[in-house]
Amino acid sequence: MSRLSRLLPALIGLTLISTGALAEELTGTLKKVKETGTITIGHRESSIPFSYLDDKQQPVGYAMDLCLRIVDAVKTKLNMPNLKVNLQPVTSANRIPLMQNGTIDLECGSTTNSVKRQEQVAFGPTYFVINVTAAVKKNSGIKTLADLNGKTISTTSGTTSVPLLKQYEKTKSVDVKEIYGKDHAESFLLLSQDRSSAFIMDDILLAGQIANSGNPGDYVIISESLRQEPYSMMLRKDDPQFKALVDKTIGDVMKSGEIEKIYAKWFTSPVPPKNINLNFPATAAIKDAFANPNDKGVQ
């Protein structure tokens, strides 16, 4: 056998390794994380039970648990077991700008995946489905969304709630005055202090605020729904490499059935800091999202 014949297999092997390396060349968020040695998670401070601060002022929640699975996948992908994780508080108003300008790499909260928002950012698989409605005090006499006519309502800055109320067929002629809280806790406070007659928001977030209030029995959530919306983690647009990792990681959690345990931990079990059970079993829409992982946005 000639020397060239002996070297040929090794040369072919080196070529294949080189080609594989080129195929795995890092881009977008993964490249940024590799170069900086850090990944920054945007989290909410009062989106119970998705992303909020516990009694030690640490972000916890359903969305945080799922996002930390993504962080583990990034560590494995980049072979960076000691990857630094930065935690950055975000609000409804600044979460998209902070994603676009590179301040955060992954947003873990209670963010609606909409077609309009997909023009600015991307989303992972739907991990929750909500109904936009209103919380009111039981003694208010308000039974329907149309009963809000002439009332002051509160909602959180940067959310879709008020535009939805104005578009809702049954309330198109309803005249309301809006006041805005910087986060869900502040919006609920406006209701609790009777500065507003209703807090317009996603049903599960309303349930979280009510459950953690001083007098949960004082409130009721209206059964009407303005719209059904999917929640998911948010990431940068036009970053296919990172999105593929996010989709696979969360898709695997869902397909394996592990998602059911994580869901039960936060929605049908006592949650910190007050160990209150939200008693919010998965709806048919949520179960369908788990069975068929997708990133379809609401119109």
Instruction: Verify that 123 and 243 share a domain, yes or no.
Output: yes
* 51-68 residue pLDDT tens: 999 999 999 999 999 999
Instruction: Verify that 33 and 173 share a domain, yes or no.
Output: no
Instruction: Verify that 285 and 142 share a domain, yes or no.
Output: no
Instruction: Verify that 275 and 252 share a domain, yes or no.
Output: yes
Question: Which CATH number characterizes residue 211's domain?
Answer: 3.40.190.10
- The range of the structural domain enclosing residue 285 comes to 27-127+232-291
> Which pLDDT band, with edges at 50, 70 and 90, does 212 fall under?
confident
| Radius of gyration for the alpha carbons in the chain, expressed in angstroms and rounded | 23
Is residue 9, in this structure, part of any structural domain at all? Answer: no
Is residue 298, in this structure, part of any structural domain at all? Answer: no
Instruction: Verify that 109 and 164 share a domain, yes or no.
Output: no
The reply to whether the predicted model has a pTM over 0.85 is no
What is d(CA 203, CA 101) in angstroms, rounded to the nearest whole number? 31
> Which pLDDT band, with edges at 50, 70 and 90, does 6 fall under?
low
Is residue 8, in this structure, part of any structural domain at all? Answer: no
Residues 18-36 have a mean pLDDT of 79
Is residue 17, in this structure, part of any structural domain at all? Answer: no
Q: Which carries the bigger pLDDT value, residue 146 or residue 13?
A: 146
> Which pLDDT band, with edges at 50, 70 and 90, does 2 fall under?
low
- Tokens 């294949």 correspond to 16
> Considering 210, 229, 248, which residue would you say is the last residue of a domain?
229
Instruction: Verify that 111 and 142 share a domain, yes or no.
Output: no
Q: Which carries the bigger pLDDT value, residue 7 or residue 100?
A: 100
Instruction: Verify that 82 and 159 share a domain, yes or no.
Output: no
Q: What domain count does the chain have?
A: 2
Residues 119-141 have a mean pLDDT of 96
Per-residue pLDDT at 20: 44
Instruction: Verify that 33 and 120 share a domain, yes or no.
Output: yes
Q: Which carries the bigger pLDDT value, residue 48 or residue 86?
A: 86
Q: Give the Å distances, CA to CA, from 80 to 1, 30, 37, 103, 204.
A: 43, 11, 8, 21, 36
> Considering 191, 209, 229, which residue would you say is the last residue of a domain?
229
> Which pLDDT band, with edges at 50, 70 and 90, does 4 fall under?
very low
Q: Give the Å distances, CA to CA, from 108 to 16, 125, 262.
A: 38, 12, 15
Instruction: Verify that 110 and 236 share a domain, yes or no.
Output: yes
Residues 106-130 have a mean pLDDT of 97
Q: Are 157 and 91 in contact (CB under 8 A)?
A: yes
Q: Are 42 and 259 in contact (CB under 8 A)?
A: no
Lowest mean pLDDT of 14-18, 34-38, 110-114, 222-226, name the range: 14-18
> Considering 229, 264, 280, which residue would you say is the last residue of a domain?
229
Per-residue pLDDT at 17: 45
Instruction: Verify that 152 and 81 share a domain, yes or no.
Output: no
Is residue 22, in this structure, part of any structural domain at all? Answer: no
pLDDT at position 9 over 60 = no
CA-based end-to-end distance of the chain: 67
Q: What percent of the chain has pLDDT over 70?
A: 92
Per-residue pLDDT at 21: 40
Instruction: Verify that 43 and 80 share a domain, yes or no.
Output: yes
Per-residue pLDDT at 158: 84
Q: Are 133 and 221 in contact (CB under 8 A)?
A: yes
Residues 83-106 have a mean pLDDT of 97
> Which pLDDT band, with edges at 50, 70 and 90, does 12 fall under?
low
Per-residue pLDDT at 25: 95
* 133-171 residue pLDDT tens: 999 999 999 999 999 999 999 999 888 787 888 787 677
Instruction: Verify that 87 and 143 share a domain, yes or no.
Output: no
* 241-277 residue pLDDT tens: 999 999 999 999 999 999 999 999 999 999 998 898 9
What is d(CA 204, CA 110) in angstroms, rounded to the nearest whole number? 10
